[in-house]
Amino acid sequence: MYSSKTTRGFTLIELLVVIAIIGILSSVVLASLNTARLKSRDSRRISDIKQLQLALALYSDSNGGGYPTTLAPLAPTYIAVVPTDPVGGAAYRYAANGTGASCTSYHLGATFEETTNQALSSDADAASAGACTGSATDFAGTDPIYDVKP
């Protein structure tokens, strides 16, 4: 007579709904991963700045209280390698402050990607000052630049 065929499987609508749900969930996960990556890179910048501060303090102790005009003389004696920004590998902002050849202070900074980072509320936010001979021109440490001074 007539046979009853039972078809097994999913309908096209069911498949499309599942694919849409997977797409939405993956976009949510990727968005939160992006935020985590930003925070991770900014944390690395803070760590690098602290390492450079320590190396500059060691340099200053060894050189009668003065600071170098660039970060290059710190490696390899005071720090193994001078760290660079995790995005693009550019050098961190550095200016040796003082008059003439006497570098009695410094201004060190890194530009953050996340402008709401709590570290920006406790940094120096120093205005630019006079740079000693041979140093880069000083910079204004306004946010989103995380900056420190000795």
Q: Torsion over CA of 45, 97, 135 and 41, rounded to 10 degrees? A: 10
How do residues 140-149 score in pLDDT, each as one tens digit?
999 999 999 9
pLDDT for residue 5 is more than 90: no
The total of other beta-carbon atoms located within 10 Å of residue 54's CB is 13
Q: For residues 125 and 69, give the distance between their C-alpha atoms in angstroms, rounded to a whole number.
A: 21
Q: What is the DSSP letter of 134?
A: T
Pair of tokens at residue 25: 């969930």
pLDDT recorded at residue 101: 87
Pair of tokens at residue 57: 């303090």
Mean residue pLDDT of the chain comes to 93
pTM (predicted TM-score): 0.82
How do residues 98-114 score in pLDDT, each as one tens digit?
998 899 999 999 999 99
